[in-house]
Structure 1
């Protein structure tokens, strides 16, 4: 079982401490949420793990191998996939070519292997029927499926999802939750940060709540929901799952 671990992360901007001694971990086949109020530091934590922001202090490791110095593309080669909040499909490429563009970066694969992997991903994420559709023509739910399929083209051990439920309708949210569970069942570790607290907690085995740059609570959805401090600073007393 692989473990992606962030240990004692800290980050300051212009002498303002945004993240203070944050530690968390994601294991293979586990869905983990990283949640908190706006300005709490959760996005900075997430970006430090992805490699978009350099930590001032702390370490990021995969199975105790230190990947902290590596840029984002270096971490991708070590097994960290990333799905940004913003649309990341190539608008003027077909679904097929969007996925193939990623597969072609895997120089160790032969052409026949790339083609086989492409067909596997198109079938796995139920997007074969739109394989020739252009990126600009996709619905929000279709786009998310294509983006996740592209991320899986690199066969990551972990995938980090930034606001996966943003900009999609309720039916698509349900669809994306099903896909995330599918990733977990494949043995992939999933880290989610999203403002959609209810749907995120619904699918997480474990969650961390960040407030004031600190982890103030961690545990199962039920444990998070029952935490009085979390209610006071984040969920409120009227929140229901």
Structure 2
């Protein structure tokens, strides 16, 4: 895949964060539904140009945490800071203006429109008219969608639709992209494409926070991971550290978990 061209990353209007401060900093995040507390004081950080995973079994609280981070749910307690600004109470659309992009698990493309028209609809709101077609061409080329320019989006493969969604998200020049279940319904080649695109985003200084049920796929692409259990962070660290953690194996991975070509998880711990 080609490196991203300068046209894809433009100066953001949001204020820069202080050197050394994490791009995203979450402290003490809490969420209750009635009497049930499903997120219990979650702390996490994402640095600039870092790919971070959020894992956990069903019911662990990762989806609720993810939805609070992107602005789909309001936390009952805690603080979210982004690029040096507290955004805990900001709605989703204002977070987007500050550089947070969200790729939902559910398809967000317009299935009846062409690939190009899907991107044009976003460009109309974020790009001067005279620049739109040039920017469209650049986006299509960088995400390897040029050959699908006139294809009807709803007829594209799962991986192609994911690439289209990522392309649409890049129109607003995000600092951080949230990937919600990006590997759902895509084939192995498309998973490789998503991993490659994530690495190119990282090279441009764009951070990625990703949650998915496919632990193996996530571990092959992230710098660090957080693993949740019962609403709290059970462990955090590099993929190797997470695989070697006996508590993570007990609660989530299982003793036989291994990455392709790597040792069984249990073999990594003393």
Q: TM bucket by the smaller chain?
A: over 0.9
1:162-181 to 2 correspondences below 5 Å: 162-181=180-199
- CA distance in 2 between partners of 1:146 and 1:63 (Å): 27
- CA distance in 2 between partners of 1:205 and 1:87 (Å): 27
How far is 1:114 from its partner? 2.1
How far is 1:26 from its partner? 0.9
How far is 1:116 from its partner? 2.0
- CA distance in 2 between partners of 1:63 and 1:180 (Å): 20
**1:87-136 deviation line (CA, Å, top 9, x unaligned):** 11101111111111111112xx3212222221111010010111111111
Do structure 1's residue 22 and structure 2's residue 38 form an aligned pair?
A: no
Say which SS state the counterpart of residue 194 (structure 2) adopts: helix
Number of the residue aligned with 1:126: 144
Q: TM-score, normalised by structure 2?
A: 0.87
Number of the residue aligned with 1:218: 236
Q: 1:110 aligns with which of 128, 141, 151?
A: 128
- CA distance in 2 between partners of 1:145 and 1:63 (Å): 26
**1:126-176 deviation line (CA, Å, top 9, x unaligned):** 101111111111111110110000000111000000001110011111111
Structure 1 stretches of at least 4 aligned residues deviating more than 3 Å after TM superposition = none
Q: Which runs of 5+ in 2 are unaligned?
A: 1-18, 260-270
Tell me which moved more, 45-54 or 178-187: 178-187
Q: Which runs of 5+ in 1 are unaligned?
A: none
- CA RMSD after TM alignment: 1.0
**1:58-110 deviation line (CA, Å, top 9, x unaligned):** 1111122011111111100010000011111101111111111111112xx32
- CA distance in 1 between partners of 2:168 and 2:65 (Å): 24
Number of the residue aligned with 2:100: 80
How far is 1:10 from its partner? 0.2
- Alignment size in residue pairs: 239
Number of the residue aligned with 2:16: none
Say which SS state the counterpart of residue 123 (structure 1) adopts: helix
Do structure 1's residue 186 and structure 2's residue 200 form an aligned pair?
A: no
- CA distance in 2 between partners of 1:204 and 1:70 (Å): 27
Number of the residue aligned with 2:11: none
1:42-53 to 2 correspondences below 5 Å: 42-53=62-73
Number of the residue aligned with 2:161: 143
- CA distance in 2 between partners of 1:217 and 1:174 (Å): 26
Say which SS state the counterpart of residue 104 (structure 1) adopts: helix
Say which SS state the counterpart of residue 22 (structure 1) adopts: strand
